[in-house]
Amino acid sequence: MMPFAYSKPDSIEQAVQQAGPDARFIAGGTNLLDLMKENVERPARVIDITGLPLREVRTTANGGLQIGALVSNAELAWHLDVEARYPLLSQAILAGASPQLRNMASTGGNLLQRTRCHYFYDAAVPCNKRAPGSGCPARDGLNRQHAILGASEHCVAVHPSDMCVALAALEARVLVHGRQGEREIPFADFHRLPGATPERDNCLAEDELIVAIALPPPPFVACSHYLKLRDRASYAFALVSVAAGLVVADDNSIAGLRVALGGVAHKPWRDVGLERSMLGRPATRESYAAFADALLRDARPLAHNAFKITLAKNAIIRALTQAQAAEEHP
């Protein structure tokens, strides 16, 4: 790890004043320190934000939940309100990382973790995300884990988070604080597709700090399911994951449907228009299969990851079926 200067601001204002291109905020450190050991990140200054008052989980006036950015992944997954009202979020968090890492990692940091693309992590090879303009060895290299949706010629990396897939389905909002004050970002707009600037994972400005995540009142409770498929049963990144939520009307038609995919793109993948087009259709396996086909219709496989298309379709059908079963047998 390269030497760096350290500061620990007492207030959010101080923290954002100290921000800059040569600095990184640190909270759990689980991803940042790993990247610093690999020389992928080489900040001259590290700003420790763990002294800031961002550890609260509270119910909001509209019946939603506001989660402080420093709440650990473990605390959040096991928070009574999250377990009872947002089980999808709880399941997604517990599907990720290890118990040790979940004790350390923060809510805000989970959103900001970088891709685990091997080429991004290897500072000895080109990578447009790490060194803009240097090229993308993953496109024609080992790309079994890489994107099938929304990729560009510059980058085929995928976002590694499980929690973010659930937050996308729950339509969370990201509260950020910068020198100009606070703003709220809808979750769908927070992460970005790589396009010609894959070095940018999200829409945060340099001086902006995530202070909280706001969840609207739960759109579904029992009728949701997080399904994660990976190479081993635990402690691995998703090849494909699905956060599914469902509302079924009395006549067994679909009254609400949300599906976010992980492991397939540079950000959690959703198609809200397609979800709306399913309303009123029968809540059956056939409908879910039609939805899955349509959601994957623009998928473009690389040399080693065509299997992800079939895997994703089947995972969607299974997650929605499980969500429906959870509603019928809570």
Of the listed pieces 27-35, 83-91, 130-138, 139-147, which binds other proteins according to CB under 8 A?
Answer: 27-35
Residue from 6, 13, 182, 203 touching other proteins (CB under 8 A): that is 6
We find the least distance from the C-beta atom of residue 193 to other proteins, in angstroms, to be 28
Least distance in angstroms from the C-beta of 6 to other proteins: 4
* Maximum Cα interatomic distance, the chain, rounded to a whole number of Å: 64
Instruction: Yes or no: say if 223 and 323 are a contact pair by the CB < 8 Å rule.
Output: yes
Nearer to other proteins, 227 or 295 (CB): 227
Q: Find all residues with CB under 8 Å of 10, minimum gap 6, and list them.
A: 51, 52
Stretch that binds other proteins, among 25-33, 131-139, 185-193, 315-323 (CB under 8 A): 25-33
**x-or-dash string of contact with other proteins, 196-235, rule CB under 8 A:** -------------------------------------xxx
The nearer residue to other proteins, 45 or 281, going by C-beta atoms, is 45
User: Binding other proteins by CB under 8 A: which of 103, 152, 277, 284?
Assistant: 103
Cα distances (Å, whole numbers) of residue 177 to 45, 72, 170, 184, 205: 19, 19, 22, 9, 10
The answer to whether 16 and 209 have CB atoms below 8 angstroms apart is: yes
Radius of gyration over alpha carbons of the chain, in Å? 20
Give pairs for 132-139: CB < 8 Å, separation 24+: 132/197, 132/198, 132/199, 136/198, 138/302, 139/302
Cβ distance to other proteins smaller for residue 32 or 88: 32
Query: What's the min distance (Å) between Cβ of 233 and other proteins?
Result: 8
* Paired tokens of 303: 């040399």
Among 15, 23, 52, 104, binds other proteins (CB under 8 A): 104
Cα dihedral angle (73, 77, 80, 82), rounded to 10 degrees? 100
From the list 220, 315, 323, 188, the residue with the least C-alpha distance to 264 is 315
Does 2 participate in binding other proteins (rule CB under 8 A)? yes
x-or-dash string of contact with other proteins, 83-102, rule CB under 8 A: --------------xxxxx-
Nearer to other proteins, 50 or 253 (CB): 50
Q: Which tokens is 114 given?
A: 């970088």
DSSP bridge pairs for 322: none
The answer to whether residue 124 forms part of the interface with other proteins (CB under 8 A) is no
For residue 221, report the phi and psi dihedrals to the nearest 5 degrees: -120, -75
Give the residue from 107, 75, 72 showing the smallest Cα distance to 211: 107
> How many positions of this chain bind other proteins (CB under 8 A)?
27
The least distance separating other proteins from the CB of residue 2, rounded to whole angstroms, comes to 7
Residues 28-67 close enough to bind other proteins by CB under 8 A: 29-30, 33-34, 37, 46, 48, 50
The contact set with other proteins (CB under 8 A) reads: 1-6, 26, 29-30, 33-34, 37, 46, 48, 50, 74, 78, 97-101, 103-104, 233-235
